[in-house]
Amino acid sequence: MNLDKEIKRRRTFAIISHPDAGKTTITEKLLLYGGAIQLAGTVKAKRSKKFATSDWMELEKQRGISVTSSVMKFPYKDHEINLIDTPGHEDFSEDTYRTLTAVDSALMLIDCANGVEAQTKKLFHVCHMRKTPVMTFINKMDREGRDLFELLEEIEQVLGIATYPVTWPIGRGGLFRGVYHRETKELILYEKDSDRSSRIVPLTGMSLESEELEKQIGAELAEELRTEIELLDGAGDHFDKERYLKGEIAPVFFGSALNNFGVQTLLDYLVSLAPKPLPRSAVQRTVDPAEKKFTSFIFKIQANMDPSHRDRVAFMRICSGRFERGMKAHHVRHKRAMRLGRPTQFMAQDRSLVDEAFAGDIVGIHDPGVFKIGDTLSEGETLSFTGIPVFAPEHFVRVQLKDPLKSKQLNKGLDQLAEEGAVQIFRPINSNDQYLGVVGILQIDVVKYRIKAEYGVTVDMKPLPYTAARWISAEDPKKLEALKKEQANNICLDTHGNPTLFLDHDWRLKFHQERHPEVEFHTTSEAVSV
C-alpha cells in the first residue's frame, strides 16, 4: 500500500446551486458514469420509478427538494470520488455550510435561463471565504436561456471570480447541437434520444476552418461558433491552474444534465484538474494529508438513516493518514480512546463496510451518542480542526407535547436531531420548556415531520417572539452572571450547557453590548465552551 499514491487518487467535492438548477439530476448522471448506479432516478418520481438516489428521506421525495446533504463515493478512471450533494433550499444552508468544510473543491451549477441566483451567491461566498476552487456547469442548454456572454459577465461581476469557458455551446435552446472543447479542439455533438441519453460524436482535432465543421453543424451555426470562439480567445481570460486552485478563476462547461450531455466532459476535467486532498488547519498546527498518522473531524451526524435500526452515523472527513476498520482513535474532546465501529461508505442511504480509507475520504462511523459536530479524532495528538461553526438561529418555537406520556421519546428525538445539526435545542433557565431554534423556517417542518415519523411523537410548534440569539461569554465570571441575572427570563442553555441570550428586537443587542461591555456576544458557538 502506497499512502501517497492513494491520497493523490482522491477527489472530494460538493455540488452547490440554487434550488431547481438541476443539482440532483447532475448528481445522478455523475454516478452513472462512475458505475455506481444503473438507473438514474428523479425527485418526485412516479411510484413505478426509482427515486433519486441522493434524496433518501421520505419528506424529500414528497416535496421534491433536498433537505439534507447526501454522501456518495464511486470510482472513476483510477480515481476515488467523494461527492456530496448539498441542499439547495436556503432554509437548509447551515447543513451545506458545514459540508463545505469537508471538501477540497466545489461544482457550481447554474441555470442558463436564471443566471446567478440568491442561494448560489450565498454558497459561493462560503467557498470564496475558504478559497475553495470552483468549477461551473451551465445547465439546461437545450432550453431557451440568457445571452451567454452576459451570463459570464454576471458570474464575474456578482461573484467576483474570473471565468474561462473550457467548452462552448453550439446553438441554443431548440437549436442546441453540442459543444466545442476549446482545449482539445474537439467537436462533441448532441442528439436527444427518447431515454434522455445523448448521441456523442467526438471529432478530435477539429479545425474551426474545416469543411467538416460545416458538414456536421451547418454553415450558419459554424459561422456563429467561429465568431464566438474568436471573441473568447481575444477578450476572455486565459486559464491558469494556479489561479483556479486559489479560487480566483472558474473553468466553465455547458450542457444538459437531464439529457446527459456535457456531464462526462465535465467529470473528465474535474478528476484531472481538481485538487487532491488539501492540508487542514487546526488550532495547534496545519495537518498535511500525507502524514502517516490518522486524523479526522466530524462534520455531520445523521440519525435514523435505517429506520428499522434507529442508528446514528457520524460522518468524518479524513484529514491525514490511513483509516482501518476496527482501529482505535483518540476522541480529543472526551480525552479517551475509542474503537471506531462499523465504518461505512455510502451511496446516499445505501452503505457498505469499509476495510480502509485514506485522507480525502468521507467515512461514516457508528455513533453511540458520543460525537458532536466538530469533534476531532486522532492517533493520540490533541488537535482541534477549525472552521466548523454552529450558526445563531433566526426562528424560534416552543415545543408542546400532545401526549405527556411520550416525553422520554420526545427528549431522545430532540437530542438526536440537535446533535446531527438539524435543529438547535435551548432550555430556559427559569422554566421546564424546550425551545427550538433554526436558521431556516422550513427546518421546523422537517423536525416536526421527523419526530412523528422516526420517534412516534406528535407535537405542536408555537412561534416565539424572538428574532435572534447570541451565545454569551466573559473572562470575568461575575460579569457574565450579572447579565444572566438581569436577563434571566431571556437566558437559555443550549445542548452543551452554553448560556445563550434571546433577543426580541434588533436594537436590544446594541443595548446589551453597551450596558455589559465586558461580555462577548457570539454569532456562532465555535468560540464558546463550557
Cα of 293 vs its chain's centroid, Å? 27
Is the pLDDT confidence value at 391 over 80? no
Residue 75 in this model has a pLDDT that exceeds 60:
yes
Q: What is the DSSP string of 3-55?
A: HHHHHHTEEEEEEEE-TTSSHHHHHHHHHHHTTS-SS--BTT--TTSPBPTT-
354 pLDDT more than 90: no
Whether 386 is in a domain gets the answer: no
Question: Which range marks the domain in which residue 333 is found?
Answer: 280-378
Regarding whether 191 and 214 lie in a shared domain, the answer is yes
- Extract the runs of DSSP E, i.e. beta strands, from 309-449: 312-320, 322-324, 328-331, 336-339, 344-347, 350-353, 356-358, 362-366, 376-378, 395-401, 424-428, 435-438
pLDDT at 176: 92
Looking at the DSSP bridge assignments, the partners of residue 296 are 318, 377
Residue 383 lies in a domain: no
Please tell me the predicted confidence (pLDDT) of residue 36.
60
Q: Are residues 233 and 334 in the same domain?
A: no
Average pLDDT over residues 420-427: 83
Q: Which amino acid, one-letter code, is at 453? A: A
Maximum Cα–Cα distance across the chain? 83
Q: Which residue has the cell 484538474?
A: 273
- At residue 146, the 3 state secondary structure works out as coil
Same domain, 345 and 464: no
Q: Specify the number of domains making up the chain.
A: 3
Residues 60 and 145 in one domain: yes
Q: Is residue 181 part of a domain?
A: yes
Q: Which residues pair with 352 in a beta bridge?
A: 345
Q: Is 432 helix (H, G, I), strand (E, B) or coil?
A: coil
CA distance 165 to 150: 13
Taking a C-beta distance cutoff of 8 angstroms, is the pair 450, 487 a contact? no
Among candidate residues 241, 273, 305, the one where a domain is terminated: 273
Q: DSSP E strands: which ranges in 156-212? A: 162-165, 167-170, 178-181, 186-189, 201-203
Q: Among 25, 13, 135, 134, which Cα is nearest to 72's?
A: 13
Same domain, 257 and 324: no
Q: Residues 174-211, buried b or exposed e (16+ Cβ, 10 A)?
A: eebbbbbbbebebbbbbebeeebebeeeebeebeeeee
**Cell numbers of 280, please?**
487542514
Same domain, 210 and 318: no
Indicate if 65 and 206 belong to the same structural domain. Answer: yes
- Mean pLDDT is lowest, of 12-26, 48-62, 344-358, for 48-62
In whole angstroms, how far apart are CA 243 and each of 234, 236, 246, 446? 20, 15, 5, 40
Q: Do 447 and 418 form a contact (C-beta atoms < 8 A)?
A: no
To the nearest whole number, what is the mean pLDDT of the chain? 85
Are 130 and 213 found together in one domain? Answer: yes
* pLDDT-wise least confident of 144-158, 306-320, 494-508: 306-320
- Share of residues in the chain with pLDDT > 90 (%): 54
Q: Mean of the pLDDT values across residues 503-515?
A: 93
Report the C-alpha gap between 20 and 4 in whole angstroms: 39
- pLDDT value, residue 145: 93
pLDDT in tens, 150-193: 999 999 999 999 999 999 999 999 899 999 999 999 899 887 76
In a shared domain, residues 88 and 166: yes
- Whether residues 213 and 96 share a domain: the answer is yes
528 located within any domain: no
CATH number, domain containing residue 335: 3.40.50.300
What local confidence, expressed as pLDDT, does residue 46 receive? 32
Q: What is the pLDDT of residue 205?
A: 73
pLDDT of 309 over the 80 cut: no
Both 10 and 153 in one domain: the answer is yes
Same-domain status, 82 and 218: yes
Asked whether residue 86 is domain-assigned, the answer is: yes
Residue after which a domain boundary falls, among 244, 273, 302: 273
In this predicted structure, the answer to whether residue 89 has a pLDDT above a threshold of 50 is no
What is the DSSP track for 227-263? HHHHHHHHHSPPP-HHHHHTTSEEEEEE-BTTTTBSH
Give Cβ neighbours of residue 338 (< 8 Å, ≥ 6 apart).
Answer: 328, 329, 331, 370
The average pLDDT across 4-15 equals 95
Residue 166 belongs to some domain of the structure: yes
Answer whether residue 347 is part of any domain.
Answer: yes
How many residues belong to the chain? 530
d(CA 276, CA 257): 25
The DSSP-derived string for 44-110 is T--TTSPBPTT--SHHHHHHTS--S-EEEEEEETTEEEEEEEPP-SGGGHHHHHHHTTS-SEEEEEE
452 contacts: CB under 8 Å, gap ≥ 6: 458, 459
**Which CATH number belongs to the domain containing residue 408 in this structure?**
3.30.70.3280
- Chain centroid to CA 242: 24
**Side-chain half-sphere CA neighbours of 44 within 13 A:** 5
Given this model, what pLDDT does residue 530 score? 41
Task: Please return the burial class of 269, using the count of CB atoms within 10 Å of its CB with bins 0-12, 13-18 and 19+.
Answer: middle
Looking at 273, 297, 328, which one is the last position of a domain? 273
Look at residue 343 in the predicted model and tell me its pLDDT.
Answer: 86
SS3 429: coil
State residue 58's pLDDT score: 53
> In the 8-state DSSP scheme, what is residue 278?
P
388 located within any domain? no
First to last CA, the chain: 43
pLDDT bin (cut points 50, 70, 90) of residue 90 is: low
Q: Please name the residues in contact with 515: beta carbons below 8 A apart, sequence gap of 6 or more.
A: none
**pLDDT confidence of 508, banded at 50, 70, 90?**
very high
